[in-house]
Structure 1
């Protein structure tokens, strides 16, 4: 069984797309999967409770299937920073409570379990704790999603350094093209990818182009074509 924490260089880097695609890739290889989104803000109020689009994508690529509350135990409606959404909801969003909520799922005998963070590496949970500390407490190797756009070289190197400074293994990184203009000049694009390969001390698991498929599930399936999994024993 392999377990990884998925983080990004910033918010909206495509963490969910890449996490879902890695789960889809694992399913092609006949592996069992579980995608977890411990904390999600920006949820929709539905007839069956709050639902988050990112968590639903992970749920769609989880096999065998499990219930929504297992995948996303802390869901908040406002599309704001999770610690502020939790405050508004009167919820104690602390590391001990998060770890306890995830423990049963992480103990399941799945071949691949991915825990997706929120925003970037240092997203706060409360005034004293942040989500990076959850990855540390769970001792999870990290997969870094680099949103390929102007500024990503700095963001990627700083995030990789922070992950290592926290004593965690950086298991790999994925480039996800956010700005099509970033790849217009192929010579510069390849030079940027080469630089990322040099400064990120972990293998590249793939580079995903800008995808136009209509649904998140379709995009994840297509993105899986460009990825390979971190090591699976």
Structure 2
């Protein structure tokens, strides 16, 4: 081997040794390489999509159809006479609108005087027993015009209407006459005119208009259970 060949071989070996030493230094600095296969399965990171959050809310229940409401019976069509009667009642039931210039006022007992006026508006005519001079003085009217008990006796004797008890509410209609015995002594203490009959299922609620306790839609039930507990209601069915 010539001198130049020995020099080249020495240079090559030195280069190889230098590269190897460099690799060892780099490996020492970076640490041992991690294995890509440890033999154990990797654990996936939990995400909202992979594992839904637990909730305490109960499962949503599909609503069922509500129970059918009780049927409401439609109000019957009223005649022109009853319409005129209702118009009069609703125009004059309040104290400020009493028609006192023509019919007068019976102090704090004006209920029958007002009911009689409403029956005139409906088409009834006066006679020798039931009448008013229409002069603005209610005390000049006949007893049947201004007394609940006398009015009851007058209707019964003339047959102008049919008597009904409170157990016959299914026959009561708008425009009928309502009377009350507050103390159940057999007479009549108050009179009004039926202005509303509401039939919902088996329940019938009746309202009336009147003076004394001025009202347009006063509840019969309230009158006999709250205002006068234990009182009794009666009706006259007017054809």
**TM-score bracket relative to the smaller structure:** under 0.3
Between the two structures, name the one with larger relative contact order (CA 8 Å, sep ≥ 6): 1
Q: Normalization by structure 2: what TM-score?
A: 0.25
Q: Normalization by structure 1: what TM-score?
A: 0.25
